[in-house]
A and B are shown apart, each in its own frame.
Chain A
Amino acid sequence: MTDEEIASTIQVLQQQQSLQSSALKAALEARWSGGADSVDGFVKALTPGIETKPETPLYP
């Protein structure tokens, strides 16, 4: 791989990790589904076209 290809791959990986971190943050804040800023929204952004059946856990 050329340096340019490696840099491009790194950029994609950084974007993916940002989405993964944001998904974990959404889970910690109990935003499981219902919009782009939810776990379900980030999962769909990470894998466009994925079909999900989100279930929200119980909270006190």
Chain B
Amino acid sequence: MADPALIQQLTQLQAQQAAISAGLNAMNEGRWLAADHGADSLEAILYGLNPGWTGTISPQAPLYDLPEPAPPEANVVWIGSPNYYHGRAGWPVVAIVIHTMAGTLASCDSWFRNPASQVSSHYGIGLAGEQHQYVALSNGSWANGVLEAGNDWVSIVGNSANPNYQTVTVETEDNGSGSTPVTDAQWGSTLAVCQLALRTYPGIRYLMGHNVISPNSRPSCCGNRWWESGRFDQLAEALELEPCW
């Protein structure tokens, strides 16, 4: 017959072992803090195991999901362009149109500053996240061309007026190749300038590809670097706009 004191010690050890297992299970299931999970938390189980630790533990719960990186702040450099409409002819701004440059940001700066080009956009976003502005948001840029046959603009927006009056336009650098991936920096800066546009025009509802307006001459603008990569829908979701492409 074993010593009753030893049996008592063994019983105590069994209870402690069960508590340690429960603590490991709480850890495994992410129940860390008593404030969040009560008696089932690792914190509460440890206090039960060792009442002397009460008030001496500085508990911390780890993260299980990486926090979304904050998009860069708008940090726009004014470049300017002579190619734009003064004002918007009374039309409300309803859409942001994303373009791909088919070139570099430097070439875009030069082309948009040239009066002979007869083209512009509100913003140009570099692959490294540079944010250039060519036209004030209160004016219409010359980025979208005219409505082409087969366009989806009319069915989406409900009018056939010049989309340049009704949009904010964003060109995105691609170094001349539609297969150049949209970088994190470019995506973040595009988001930042779109948020600026939304603060100016809260009535904007759509995020569009240029192909919605010009399905014949620009069927691949802004292209699969935005569409198939998921970057376009991700941008629309971040802006809470309806994606159209």
Interface set of A (CB-CB < 8 Å, partner B): 3, 6-7, 10, 13-14, 17, 20-21, 24-25, 27-30, 57-60
Contact = CB atoms under 8 A, between A and B. Distances in A.
A30 B50 CA distance: 19
Given A14-B13, A57-B62, 16 more contacts: A3-B2, A6-B3, A7-B3, A17-B13, A21-B23, A21-B46, A24-B20, A24-B42, A25-B46, A28-B42, A28-B57, A28-B59, A29-B60, A58-B62, A58-B66, A59-B63
Give 4 closest A-B pairs by Cβ, nearest first. A57-B62, A58-B63, A30-B60, A24-B23
Bin the interface of chain B by size.
20 to 34
Contacts of B27: 24, 27
B40 to A, nearest CB: 14
30 contacts: A3-B2, A6-B2, A6-B3, A7-B6, A10-B13, A13-B13, A14-B9, A17-B13, A17-B17, A20-B20, A21-B16, A21-B46, A21-B49, A21-B50, A24-B23, A24-B24, A24-B27, A24-B46, A25-B53, A25-B57, A28-B32, A28-B43, A28-B57, A29-B58, A29-B59, A30-B60, A57-B62, A59-B60, A59-B62, A60-B67
Contacts of B58: 29
Contacts, number: 62
Nearest to B62: A57
B2 to A, nearest CB: 6
B154 interface: no
A13 B20 CA distance: 13
- Interface majority SS on A: helix, strand, loop or mixed? helix
Given A3-B3, A3-B6, A21-B49, A29 B57 contact: yes
Contacts of B24: 24
A27 B42 CA distance: 9
A1 to B, nearest CB: 8
Contacts of A28: 32, 42-43, 46, 57, 59-60
A5 to B, nearest CB: 10
Interface string B108-140: 000000000000000000000000000000000
A7 B108 CA distance: 83
A3 B1 CA distance: 9
A3 B6 CA distance: 8
B196 interface: no
A30 B42 contact: no
Interface string B169-187: 0000000000000000000
B10 interface: yes
